[in-house]
Structure 1
Amino acid sequence: MNTTDAIELLKQKGYKTTGKRKDILSYFEEADGYRTAKDLIQHLEETYEGISFDTIYRNLHLYNEMGILETTELNGEKHFRMNCTHHHHHHFICKDCGRTKEIDVCPMEEVKKSLKDYDIEDHKFEIYGLCPECQRV
């Protein structure tokens, strides 16, 4: 997903596309990996002095609900990134910098074998650790 696709989706669902909303989307499109609401506020404060956490969280929740952003939890805090919808994959997530690396291997075939009487609706597979750059520090 990119900013243009996200704006189009917002319009289709009847949401206004304000400058703040566009800037939030652009931030996540340009970010390399997961980012927190605090990261976003620090970025937006340069343009929107006094922007509130409420505004940020309301938009982050909306974008997540609409499938524009995906979330994960790192160190007890929610992190967000632009949703990758081009193909099925999973992520390695750096616990220090939030960068991600796509993992094309999916363990679901093995999991389905051990849960054959269960109705699996969805799944999420993430690996956490340190990226090569953060290991050097």
Structure 2
Amino acid sequence: MERNTRQRKAIHQCIQDAGRPLSPQEILESAQGAVPGIGLATVYRTIKSMLEAGEITTVSLPGGGDRYEISGHGHHHHFHCRSCDKVFEVHACPGDMQKLTPEGFVLESHELTLYGLCNQCRDVGGKPAVS
């Protein structure tokens, strides 16, 4: 049985409230608002526990670190801003990918990541907006 500590509650809440996949560092920075003494090791332990419990899922990006989001969003894709490095959910799908699969192959699933500039970075000329 998993203990429901202040740290765990803060981490769960920040992932849920973000509405987008977060890196461990983003989780740490957000959770520190609720639990000032929380450390990165606690964030990693909690991520591992939440993954095992099925509360969150991993969003893996080619060439980048894993991000984490609340489970149960259903099929969706992601947009990765090349300037600020934030990842956003995209609730659309181009549709039937079987037509792109080589003849005779059977497609079981797909992941799609779009890359570019988010609206904040686009507005400041491709440089991350200062928060």
User: Is the TM value for this pair above 0.5?
Assistant: yes
| Equivalent residues of 1:90, 1:102 under 8 A apart | yes
Structural RMSD (CA): 2.8
Instruction: Figure out how many residues of one structure are paired with residues of the other and give that number.
Output: 121
Query: TM-score scaled by structure 1?
Result: 0.67
Instruction: String of CA shifts for 1:7-64, please: whole Å, max 9, x gaps.
Output: xxxxxxx323222111111001111423221122223334241x33222112213323
* Structure 1 residues 132 and 21, CA gap change in structure 2 (3 angstroms): same
Structure 1: segments with no counterpart, 5+ residues: 1-13
Match of 2:93 in 1: 105
- Which is helix-richer, 1 or 2? 1
**Does residue 128 of structure 1 match 2:124?**
no
Amino acid at match of 1:52: G
Instruction: String of CA shifts for 1:67-125, please: whole Å, max 9, x gaps.
Output: 5233233763222222352x422222323252524241245x23356245445443321
Q: Detail structure 1 runs of 4+ shifted over 6 Å in the superposition.
A: none
In the alignment, which of 68, 80, 84 is matched to residue 80 of structure 1? 68
In the alignment, which of 4, 24, 27 is matched to residue 11 of structure 2? 24
Structure 2: segments with no counterpart, 5+ residues: 125-131
**Does residue 71 of structure 1 match 2:59?**
yes
Match of 1:37 in 2: 24
Q: Distance in 2 between matches of 1:38 and 1:74?
A: 18
Query: TM-score scaled by structure 2?
Result: 0.69
Percent identical? 22
In the alignment, which of 56, 70, 86 is matched to residue 43 of structure 2? 56
* Structure 1 residues 16 and 123, CA gap change in structure 2 (3 angstroms): farther
* Structure 1 residues 34 and 110, CA gap change in structure 2 (3 angstroms): closer
Amino acid at match of 2:26: D
